[in-house]
Structure 1
Amino acid sequence: MLRQMCRRGRLLASMKDSVRTGDSESSTVKAMRILYDPVSTSDGSPEHLSPAQESAHNASGSILDESTYSLLLDYWNQSYSPPYIHRSQFTYELMDMGINVFPTHAVEHTHFSHKTRTFSVFRKHAGGSSISFRHPATGHKDYGYIQEIWTQALQGECRTFAIIQPHTELSPIDAVKTHLPTHLRFRSFARYTNPQYVRPRLVVELRHIIAHVPFHWRPKGTYGITQAFTIFVDSLEKGRD
């Protein structure tokens, strides 16, 4: 096991070095660059980007679909200033008035690193996408899966946005059947796996994320519950809450 850990450490170091230096064009290094593509984060001051750098970063990505675009726009206008307008509201008359139009492009990622932990989108790694977080609007603790990860340059800073699908709670009748509400020390709770009512998606940033939340899918019929549900164990925050 120790040999495997050492080999893994050397491989990761080589992958990181190949990404940082970019001094090799071999097929092996190119493959390593593809494999090692996290959005790294730093606790230091973010690098300030010029307008040209902002445009270059966003243009290197893809066009946001209307749903994701509106989510990011609404989140920004509720959390920051100056406000932006929707791309459909832009007219030539506004071109010289200093009106901010929210960028139509962003760079999509499948995972990012935050406080020594790696988080991913659900389609790549379900466990890496299951998180606890502080709801941006209320500050209350919530839970969900990361569906999308985007980086976008706004107001001189490259920001990482995660699109979250929050979980839907069990009905009071079904919750009692699991017996989890009466065993609080387990720090476990259940949510519907494929709920009939799906909560609206929301946007969070790295500062809202608390920790990963392990889970176990259970089929319908378990505990007499007619729908499939998932049991989550909220025990990995280690004082981060």
Structure 2
Amino acid sequence: MHNASLLKHWGPFPALSEFAGERMNGMLQKIKTNKKMEDMPLTMLRQMARRGRLEAQLSDGQLKAGALGQFSEILQPTIAASRKQAKPLSDLAVAKILKVSKELPEEDYELLLQYQRSKGQPWRSWLDLPQPHGALILPPAVLYSRHFKIGDHTFSRIKSRKKNSRIQFKDPEDSTTRCTGYIREIWQIPVHNYLQTFFLVEKYKPLALGAIQKTPYHSLNLFQATAVSTDPSNNFCIIEPHHILTHLTSYYRPKGTFGILKAILVICWALNRGRRA
């Protein structure tokens, strides 16, 4: 146990999530042993090995054909649903969506337009008149959403739920770079007759080098944590669901923590198990 170190760096334990260990304990408790204590280690090992093999096959999509495929959808409906291709929207459905959509602020529209252009397609602003025939025109209005689910995980804009808005994500300009920030807005917009989701994210403002060196995190990489400023960075970017890696856990620390003369936010990305690399 590393209670002293954990208390120093993270504060009271009730603020920490122990869901992984609790989940494992719950799984072990549900295994039937028929009160044969002498066989318990073998029973536990056998059942966990069986479960692990089954979950691996479900996760890898190996059980697709026939009755096994139908059975896998019952066991893990969220994985099955994520593999299904989205259906294209009819022109009437697109028109109905645009009718109830709200216009984006000019700076947000420009940011979204630049993001779409960065993917190599010649998107045009709706203000670029006259428009040539067949032009790709980005609509000026979007559906605003408060939450969006990716598998079993819910991501939210910061105004709706702070804890679900803090994320680690892949930099859309460089997929090998990992960034942290929080979701300001969630937009949905019909693109090529498919409803696509975009996130407006504000990246966290890093601390000055002198301040970050006062924290323990720059030398304790296995903590998978760092401290950032609580001030707004005004550094925005657009991402899509496939860019998101994980939620962040966070811990607000007041002025004076680690000798830093301003409030800081400690963020941790240890929830990233590499499943969305």
Normalised-by-shorter TM-score class? 0.7 to 0.9
Give the CA deviation at 1:214: 0.3
Structure-2 separation of matches of 1:194 and 1:148: 18
Report whether the alignment pairs 1:84 with 2:120.
no
Structure-2 separation of matches of 1:90 and 1:190: 47
Give the CA deviation at 1:227: 2.2
- Post-superposition Cα deviations, 1:168-225, rounded to whole Å, max 9, x if no partner, equal 1111100111121111221111110115xx2520111111111101001112221221
- Structure 2 equivalent of residue 62 of structure 1: 102
- Secondary structure of 1:88's partner? coil
Which residue of 159, 169, 189 maps to 1:152?
189
- Structure 2 equivalent of residue 231 of structure 1: 266
Residues 236, 136 of structure 1: CA spacing in aligned structure 2 closer, same or farther, 3 A cutoff?
same
> Runs of 5+ in structure 2 lacking a partner?
1-80
- Post-superposition Cα deviations, 1:37-81, rounded to whole Å, max 9, x if no partner, equal xxxx83321111233322322222111111211111111111253
Structure-2 separation of matches of 1:219 and 1:52: 53
- Secondary structure of 2:212's partner? helix
Structure-2 separation of matches of 1:42 and 1:80: 26
- Structure 2 equivalent of residue 217 of structure 1: 252
- Root-mean-square deviation (CA), in Å? 1.6
Structure-2 separation of matches of 1:60 and 1:80: 29
Report whether the alignment pairs 1:106 with 2:142.
yes
Identity level (%): 27
Which residue of 113, 122, 131 maps to 1:73?
113
- Structure 2 equivalent of residue 44 of structure 1: 84
Equivalence map 1:162-173=2 (5 Å): 162-173=199-210
Assess if the C-alpha contact under 8 Å between 1:59 and 1:106 holds in 2. no
Which residue of 122, 136, 161 maps to 2:158?
122
Highest relative contact order (Cα 8 Å, sep 6+), 1 or 2? 1
> Runs of 5+ in structure 1 lacking a partner?
1-40
Give the CA deviation at 1:234: 1.2
Specify the code of the residue in structure 1 equivalent to 2:137: V
Give the CA deviation at 1:108: 0.3
